[in-house]
Amino acid sequence: MAQPILGHGSLQPASAAGLASLELDSSLDQYVQIRIFKIIVIGDSNVGKTCLTFRFCGGTFPDKTEATIGVDFREKTVEIEGEKIKVIQTVRFRCGTQQVKNAFAKAWLSITTAMCMRWSLFMTSPR
């Protein structure tokens, strides 16, 4: 037999849909409480951006990498002083015309918490 639950200021009969929405609400609360930091990693091609984020999120360096086409995302949840914080890293590669790069940069930087630049001392950029 269905048990009454509170809803819209009065006692309403519980339904499967009602209980499901209550469960959904409480599970959403957990996500709302996690702070999200978005970090963009930029740099010339082949300087190790993918390896850097792979190491941070996965704990190991990849044996082999391929050139990133467009953007790449990785995420990791860290705990600092008892608070869970989700870190999302975006890897961007250097490509295209200046206009394309500017448009990308504007879009990504508007939603970014921090920026990490990576470069290689052993490489010279082709101009």
Ligand X SMILES: Nc1nc2c(ncn2[C@@H]2O[C@H](COP(=O)(O)OP(=O)(O)OP(=O)(O)O)[C@@H](O)[C@H]2O)c(=O)[nH]1
Q: How far apart (Å, rounded) are the C-alpha atoms in residues 67 and 93?
A: 9
Q: Which is nearer to ligand X, 7 or 74 (CB)?
A: 74
Provide the binding-site residues for ligand X, judged by CB under 6 A.
Answer: 43, 45-51, 65, 67-68, 91, 93
Strand order of the β-sheet with 35-42 is 71-80, 83-92, 35-42, 114-117
Q: Which residue is nearest to ligand X (CB)?
A: 48
Least distance to ligand X, CB of residue 77, Å: 22
Tokens of 34: 């996690």
- At its nearest, how many Å lie between ligand X and the CB of residue 119? 9
H or E element that contains 93: none
| Residue 81 beta carbon to ligand X: minimum distance, rounded to whole angstroms | 30
Give the shortest CB-31-to-ligand X separation in angstroms.
Answer: 30
Residue 21 or 65: which CB sits closer to ligand X? 65
Kind and range of the H or E run holding 122: none
Smaller CB distance to ligand X: residue 66 or 79?
66
Q: Which two three-digit tokens encode residue 103? A: 């448009």
> Which is nearer to ligand X, 21 or 45 (by Cβ)?
45
Question: What is the phi-psi region of residue 18: left when phi exceeds 0, alpha when psi lies from -120 to 50, beta otherwise?
Answer: alpha
